[in-house]
Amino acid sequence: MASDDLRYYETFYGVHMNHWNYSFGTFSNHNKLLVKEYISEGTLTTDSSTATATDNKFIYPHHIKKKYFIEGVITGHITVGASGCTSTVTSFRVSVCKIHEDNTDSELFTTGWKTVSDTLIWNAGLSVGDERVYHFEIDAWEKETLSDKEKIYIKVEVNADTCAQLWHSNDATWEDLKIEIPFRM
C-alpha cells in the first residue's frame, strides 16, 4: 500500500457553545461547532436544538491542512429525543459539506434520506422523553478536495414533529452527535 493510500480518521463531536461563535462564509456568529474533544463541563452550552430546525449545521472552525482530501467511509450517529410531548420521527439525513470563504458551498457526501418510524414517548410526570440514536455510514469513494479557503461542516436534517430535539450536549460520557471522517493528506 502506497503512503498516499493511507487515511487519517478524525472524530468530531457537535456542540452548541453559548459564549463562543464563529463566522466564515455564510456562517455568521454561528454557535454550533465541530470539536475534536469535548470542552470543560463547566462551559456554558446548549444541550439540544429543535430537530427540524434549518440551522442544524456544525462547522469545524479550523483548517485541516492547506490542501486535503476526504475519501473512505464516513461513520457516525445522531441522537433525537422527545421534549415536552410525544414525538414521531419519520426520516433523517446527514451531509458533509464544504463552505468557501466567498459564501459558496456544496454538499460533498450524504446519507440520503433514511426512513425510520419511531414514536418517542414523553413522560410528563418525570419530565423525560425517549431518545433514539441513529447510526449512519456514507461511502465517500469519490475523492473530494478541500483547500485552505474552505471549511467543512455537517448538516443534520430530521423529519419529525415539533417536540423532537436534536441532541448535541457537551458530555463526554454520552456522545450524542459524533462523526468520523477519513482524510487523505
Q: Are 18 and 44 in contact (CB under 8 A)?
A: yes
Is pLDDT of 143 > 90?
A: no
Is pLDDT of 1 > 50?
A: no
Among 62, 59, 20, which Cα is nearest to 43's? 20
How far apart CA 173 and CA 185 sit, in angstroms, is 31
CA 41 to chain centre: 20
Is pLDDT of 3 > 60?
A: no
pLDDT-derived band at 161, boundaries 50, 70, 90: very high
Check residue 162 and report its DSSP letter: T
Domains of the chain: 7-184 (2.60.120.260)
Helix/strand/coil for 83: coil
* Greatest pairwise CA separation for the chain in angstroms: 59
User: Model-level pTM?
Assistant: 0.93
How far apart CA 18 and CA 147 sit, in angstroms, is 29
Among 95, 98, 74, 96, which Cα is nearest to 148's? 98
How far apart CA 78 and CA 175 sit, in angstroms, is 9
Give 28-44 pLDDT, tens digit per residue: 999 999 999 999 988 89
What is the arithmetic mean of pLDDT over 50-63? 94
Check residue 35 and report its DSSP letter: E
Q: Looking at residue 4, what is its pLDDT?
A: 56
